[in-house]
Amino acid sequence: MSFLIERPWILIVAMSVLFYISVGILYYQHTKRKKAFNTIKTMKRNKELSKVYLRIDNGYGEFYDMSFSVDGENWSSGVLFSDEFLTPSILMPSGEYEIKFSVKSRSGATVYYKKKGPFYTKIVVKPFIDTIIVFDNDTLASWQEDLKE
């Protein structure tokens, strides 16, 4: 304590150094996120990502805690949801995937819902073609359908 009383400027220097380190970390995270956002934006513009729409039959609800795997063993931390709110969808590059998801569902127009899952389904995403993952609330089955426009 006597060391700080004799040299109070050390506290100011230490706080300043910590402040500039935290600003540097925030700038690094910002540039990393900006680069990822621009990459996703470019991929959407070049039509490298297809939309996979999400639909619940025989009820209402929403998908959550979604992740995907190419080989069935290594699961990603999550999927990239598109910017559509009324018809929810995820953006994925072409390929074959296994999707793991959970569902918050309700059978009618009520505020109470049940959490169900996790469920697994295999999908094939083709370039430039949008598809639908359908979850049946009664049978708890899920499958892939082609998008009919």
Does residue 82 sit in the same domain as residue 103? yes
Q: What is the model's pLDDT at position 20?
A: 97
In this predicted structure, the answer to whether residue 104 has a pLDDT above a threshold of 80 is yes
Residue owning tokens 């708890």: 140
Q: What contacts 112, CB < 8 A, 6 or more positions away? A: 106
Question: Looking at residues 11-15, what average pLDDT do you find?
Answer: 93
Q: What is the model's pLDDT at position 29?
A: 97
**What is the pTM for the complete model shown?**
0.69
Name the DSSP class of 111.
S
Report the C-alpha gap between 119 and 63 in whole angstroms. Answer: 11
Q: What is the model's pLDDT at position 17?
A: 97
Does residue 32 sit in the same domain as residue 18? yes
Report the C-alpha gap between 134 and 132 in whole angstroms. Answer: 6
Q: Which residues of the chain form beta strands (DSSP E)?
A: 49-57, 60-69, 80-81, 89-93, 95-106, 114-125, 131-136, 142-146
Give the distance from CA 104 to its chain's centroid: 16
- What range does the domain containing 113 cover? 50-146
Contact 96, 60 (CB under 8 A): no
- Count of domains observed in the chain: 2
Report the C-alpha gap between 75 and 49 in whole angstroms. Answer: 19
Does residue 31 sit in the same domain as residue 58? no
Q: Which of 25-34, 89-98, 129-138 has the highest mean pLDDT?
A: 25-34
Does residue 77 sit in the same domain as residue 54? yes
Does residue 77 sit in the same domain as residue 115? yes
Does residue 104 sit in the same domain as residue 132? yes
Q: What is the model's pLDDT at position 149?
A: 61
The verdict on whether omega for the bond into residue 93 sits within 30 degrees of 0, i.e. cis, is no
User: Predicted confidence band at 16 (pLDDT cuts at 50, 70, 90)?
Assistant: very high
Does residue 98 sit in the same domain as residue 122? yes
Contact 53, 132 (CB under 8 A): yes
Does residue 130 sit in the same domain as residue 82? yes
Q: What is the model's pLDDT at position 24?
A: 98
Q: What mean pLDDT, rounded, does the chain reach? A: 86
Does residue 74 sit in the same domain as residue 100? yes
Does residue 28 sit in the same domain as residue 55? no
